[in-house]
Amino acid sequence: MKELDHFIAGKHVKGTSGRFGDVFDPATGEVQAKVAFASRAEVRKAVEAALAVFPEWASVNPQRRARVLFNFKALVEKNMDELAHMLSSEHGKVLADSRGDVQRGLEVIEFACGIPHLQKGEYTEGAGPGIDIYSIRQPLGVCAGITPFNFPAMIPMWMFGVAIACGNCFINKPSEKDPSVPLRLAELMMEAGAPAGVLQVVNGDKEAVDAILEDPDIKAVSFVGSSTIAEYVYSHGTAHGKRVQAMGGAKNHAIIMPDADLDQVTDALIGSAYGSAGERCMALPVAVPVGDKLADALIERLKPRVETLKVGPPTDPDSSYGPMVTAAQKQRVIDYIDMAVKEGAELLVDGRGFKLQGYENGFYLGGTLFDRVTPEMQSYKDEIFGPVLQIVRAHEFDEAAALPSKHQYGNGVAIFTRDGDAAREFASKVNVGMVGINFPIPVPLAYHTFGGWKRSAFGDVNVHGPEGVRFYTKIKTVTARWPKGGVREHPDFNIPTMK
């Protein structure tokens, strides 16, 4: 059986801990590989390799670092099909979605190629008599990313693209469920011209995570995953003196106004709630129609669409979505469906009994639709992370708008309306980090920044965009004076001012 190792100091390194995890083919349910779990000593080897090359990489001028990223971008594009098939085979998302996963990561690489401009500081000439003040942004050193299973290409590139562009070295600890794509990306970064040790991959579980969080030479950690783990990563990492940005879970709402185009809304909900089997932190798992008449009309359109979703193998171009990543993840979602039924939600479409002929052991789950879900239900409060759409009926706009604002998560939200005033007011006042107006998945483009509020994000700085540059650099401010020759000054014991 294939064994997946680590990528340290520019080469594949076999695991020595003796501990391994199973990597499944979600379409068939079979174990396709074993992945080595790193010990603390193996994580430390990666840190030492990064420390050894950091002075060299940090001293490379920004334009030449950008050229390496340009080369990397071209190599990823050249190997797009290989990466997409690799991603689908371990995650289960359909090939078109896997290509999108890679492409959205590449967009941040494109942004990071502008690092000569992005890393510029500020300059004030003549701040005082013969005094100039300027600031410079310098790399932190060794940085690390702990990345999730649902976007094994995009999220690592969101992190290491900006970090490496700024002159840092980066260690990626990907999900043990689908580690092959991050390993391949590290190979391509080497082929693009990055020195050995600039981008490394260590696979593993909590032991590797804690080693990263506690290592004194790792200066910053970026994380994406569940809120419980995000909070742990943030508190444990900051307690060890690190910068930490930790993105957590989500329960994104779609507010649907009576004047909305229901055909557009139906298409948007079907794609955003069920795409990638709902395994997205920016999915729309909650629809909030305003008024019973609108809710009934929406369900009339939604129910047959959910019932006819084509759940199939990732390689079938006609599949709406593929299997879930593991049997445990599938069971977790089934447990939430059971919970919602017990809580009194009205089950309109039940996906629990879905079986795909020829793939009976695959981790497939049919689309599920609930009506009359209430904010008191635990299944509404929690992130389900599966192909489940819950409808919460609201009587008026203010009631609907309050739901995402009061929810424990604040990652994304959408409103569907033709009323510009209502949309503007909603976008301004809603207590959520990313807002879509007639746009179901409001993931900002690479030159803006990604991040939620409340329990969807821990830390003060968001991911990619200008915020990413700030996260992966430290600012140094220099105050310089060049006295005129032959002029002697007497000691001044007062604090300097510009009076």
From the candidates 113, 166, 169, 281, give the one annotated as an active-site residue: 281
Phi, psi of 276 (to 5 degrees): 55, 30
Q: Under a CB-based contact definition with an 8 Å cutoff, are residues 225 and 145 in contact? A: no
Say if residues 360 and 308 touch (Cβ distance below 8 Å): no
Spatial CA neighbour of 172 closest among 491, 363, 158: 158
C-alpha separations of 483 from 125, 287, 302, 496 in Å = 15, 67, 76, 15
Alpha-helical segments (H) within 215-315 = 227-239, 262-274, 292-307
CA distance 239 to 214: 9
Tell the residue number behind the tokens 């879970």, with chain if given.
Answer: 249
| DSSP 8-state class, residue 394 | B
Annotation marks residue 281 as catalytic: yes
Secondary structure E strands in 205-248: 218-224, 243-247
Which residues are CB-neighbours of 319 under 8 A, at least 6 positions away? 94, 310, 311, 312, 313
* Cβ-proximal residues to 196 (8 Å cutoff; 6+ apart), any chain: 9, 10, 11, 49, 53, 190
Pull the structure tokens for residue 52.
């050894």
The residues annotated as belonging to the active site are 281
